Amino acid sequence: MSDAHGDTIDALGHEDRRFPPPADFVAGAAVTDAAMRAEALADSEAFWARQASELLTWQEPWSRVLDWQVPNARWFDGGRLNVAENCLDRHVAAGNGSRVAIHWEGEPGDTRTITYADLLAEVERFSNVLRSLGVAKGDRVNIYLPMIPEAAVAMLSCARIGAVHSVVFGGFSSQSLADRINDAEAKVLITADGGYRRGEVFALKPAADEALATTPSIEHVVVVRRGGNEVTMQPGRDHWYHELMEEASPSCPAEGMDAEDLLFLLYTSGTTGKPKGIMHTTGGYLTHVTYTHRYVFDLRPDDVYWCTADVGWITGHSYIVYGPLANGATQVMYEGVPNHPGNDRFWDIVERYGVTIFYTAPTAIRTFMKWGAEEPAAHDLSSLRLLGTVGEPINPEAWMWYHTHIGQGRCPIVDTWWQTETGGIMISPLPGETTTKPGSATFALPGVSAEVLDDAGQVVTHGGGYLALTEPWPGMLRGIWGDPQRFVDTYWSRFEGRYFAGDGARLDDDGYLWLLGRVDDVMNVSGHRISTTEVESALVSHPAVAEAAVVGATDDTTGQAIVAYVSLRGGADVDVTTLRNHVATEIGAIAKPKAIFFTPDLPKTRSGKIMRRLLRDVAEGRDLGDTTTLADASVVSELQQRAAQAPAED
Ligand code: 7RM
């Protein structure tokens, strides 16, 4: 019962460490004071218009910055531009054709260096390939590829001719692929024979073939040769990428697109129901991702940027393909896993390419913690100057580990909160301006308005509640493909006129935002609403713990009881009583887990988010529901066995 407006979510955490931007970082930074915040606050439409005109090249100017009829936004209406032209042509025209766009590295160690001129040439040819296969403006194209440069080529080629892409993560099953193709009624599928993962080829084309048996809208399939694995090609329907490219004509002018023309669909699964095809459009989206990529990462001309996401997720769309390329950045793109051939693969890549900006997920950082600090210590990481995280709340201790062992105490960390639906980063430090606190994403970016609300929709000025976005922003989703009612129900019905993000958040004494995880995961223990994130962070703050997942299991006495699953750091050991007491000391007796189970791994989605729903099922002894989105299904069966054997602690 922590704030004046009731007990929406109790705030338990505390954090006294502060990290002001280091002086030598500030010396070269683009944003070093609050002027940009003041400008955006004074007139946010004018602010976004300035970003759009400064950062992008428009074929025709817009007539109106924003048309906002809740929940429908139109940004830069009347403006015309082409996304591929902004990502490629204009850099080549400015004399930067020989600048490296992508240092690509395959998992087996093969490499490709692709300049902006190379990438433009490849995209022009492939745009012609798509046209020759009958793809026209507005048609949907599905992309199901490994992390190879052709993924970016395929996306940019769609953008060039005005086709709408729908990328499906290469780790998804044939059924997921078929569902997404059918929902979008895609005409063409772009896939590969296979790709490399953990030292082996994983087959994609056979999975695609299975999907294709139930996807009548697909007329042509383009297959990139990557894995070298045997595939069957259906004559007339299936074509090799390299053969089509040989025949394609080299020049393809970029289509002029309306700012509000659809750029892509990206499906997000959510916890229940069928996946939602999130719609993103052209001018606002590109403005948002270019602006955030430039200022959140403080991009400078000699930077070597590396985002470790897969292009199949929104992070790959916005911060591998569109943001970095629109800014003319040089980046690393890596095909495989972080532990092949050794646990130091990422640090080896950082060292060899001289990576300066590194953007990864908390789940990866906690895995590195398990593997130990010796791995990064064996490499020269002195090129790094800025670190970023995205995907989940980062526990303060994981933040400190990242700061110490990867950033070597030198690099600011930007903890970036955003969603598939927001298109780009919304809440994050600006690294030359913002004093950070480990575990806090700090403040809404200039141009973005976020508030914490209680159950009644009243603004919480201090303490916990629900995160809402209170003003439209250029990169916001424009709807759910084929389901306008679901768009309204999911995001715009909880709080009138405001976007409901589905995350809990807390505002501290200094106005810093702390993300508390999905509101569906909030636990209710004896009437106290406790966020899983805060208990997990308390557990991770014990030096023996690398990672923790916490859930509320039904309990006769307290309503819900806290059950924790804990992974230890390499070589560390600790007992249950010590950990329970540690949580009590850190955040209070009410948050003390009733039971703690040790496990080498936690169940995660394929994008690395902890699946608490499954752990709740395990804790309550239920049959597991849908486990198809799990990265590694053996993790839960392992946990179920342990839960059956081990008596719950008290
Ligand atoms: C970019 C991405 C969105 C959900 C979001 C949050 C969680 C993402 C952070 C975070 C705390 C962060 N898109 N989330 N970033 N929570 N701090 N910095 O992940 O659509 O796949 O997921 O991810 O719950 O609602 S997503």
Contact 353/323 with Cβ under 8 angstroms? Answer: no
| Residue 416 CB–ligand 1 contact under 6 Å | yes
Domain closes at, from 220, 255, 290: 255
Cα 632 from Cα 619, distance rounded (Å): 18
CATH number at residue 531: 3.30.300.30
174 found inside a domain: yes
pLDDT for residue 61: 98
Domain boundary among 235, 255, 275: 255
**Residue 164 sits in a domain of what CATH number?**
3.40.50.980
pLDDT tens digits for 384-420? 999 999 999 999 999 999 999 999 999 999 999 999 9
* Stretch among 319-323, 361-365, 568-572 having the lowest mean pLDDT: 568-572
CA 422 to ligand 1 center in whole angstroms: 10
Regarding the beta carbon of 268 and ligand 1, being less than 6 Å apart is answered yes
pLDDT score of 643 more than 60: yes
Atom of ligand 1 nearest to the CA of 421: 20
Task: Kindly state if the Cβ of 393 falls inside 6 Å of ligand 1.
Answer: yes
Pocket of ligand 1 contains residue 515 by CB under 6 Å: yes
- 10 domain-assigned: no
Residue nearest atom 10 of ligand 1, based on CA coordinates: 392
pLDDT > 70 fraction of the chain, expressed in percent and rounded: 96
Provide DSSP, 377-415.
HTS--TT--EEEE-SSPPPHHHHHHIIIIISTTTS-EEE
Domain assignment present for 469: no
Tell me if 452 sits within 8 A of 443, measured CB to CB. no
Among 191, 125, 121, 127, smallest CA distance to 159 is for 127
Say which residues have a Cβ less than 8 Å from residue 556's Cβ, sequence separation at least 6.
Answer: none
CA 425/CA 428 separation, integer angstroms = 7
Are 72 and 284 a contacting pair, CB within 8 Å?
Answer: no
Whether 276 maps to a domain, the answer reads no
> What pLDDT digit, counting tens, does each position of 544-601 carry?
999 999 999 999 999 999 999 999 998 899 999 999 999 999 999 999 999 999 999 9
Structural domain contains residue 382: no
Cβ 163 under 6 angstroms from ligand 1: no
561 Cα: distance to centroid of ligand 1 (angstroms): 26
Q: Which of 3-12, 174-183, 587-596, 623-632 is the least confident region?
A: 3-12
Note whether residue 575 is domain-resident.
yes
Q: Establish whether residue 296 lines the binding site of ligand 1, counting it when its CB lies within 6 angstroms of any ligand atom.
A: no
Check: pTM over 0.85? Answer yes or no. Answer: yes
State how far Cα 311 lies from the chain centre. Answer: 10
Residue 429 Cβ contacting ligand 1 at under 6 Å? no
Structural domains counted in the chain: 2
Indicate the DSSP class of residue 96: I
In a domain, 336, yes or no: no
Q: What is the DSSP letter of 314?
A: H
- Of the residues 228, 255, 282, which one is the last residue of a structural domain? 255
Q: How far is the CA of 571 from the centre of ligand 1 (A)?
A: 31
- What lies within 8 Å, CB to CB, of 96 at 6+ separation is 116, 328
Token pair belonging to 613? 């729903």
Which residue out of 319, 390, 521, 612 has the highest number of ligand 1 atoms within 8 Å of its CB and is therefore the one to mutate?
Answer: 390
Domain containing residue 154: 127-255
Domain presence at residue 626: yes
CA–CA gap between residue 546 and residue 155 (Å, rounded): 37
Cα Rg, the chain, nearest whole Å: 24
Is it the case that residue 211 has pLDDT exceeding 70?
yes
CA-proximal residue: ligand 1, atom 23 (nearest): 391
Mutate to test the pocket of ligand 1, among 313, 419, 436 (most ligand atoms within 8 A of CB): 419
Distance CA 289, CA 445 (A): 12
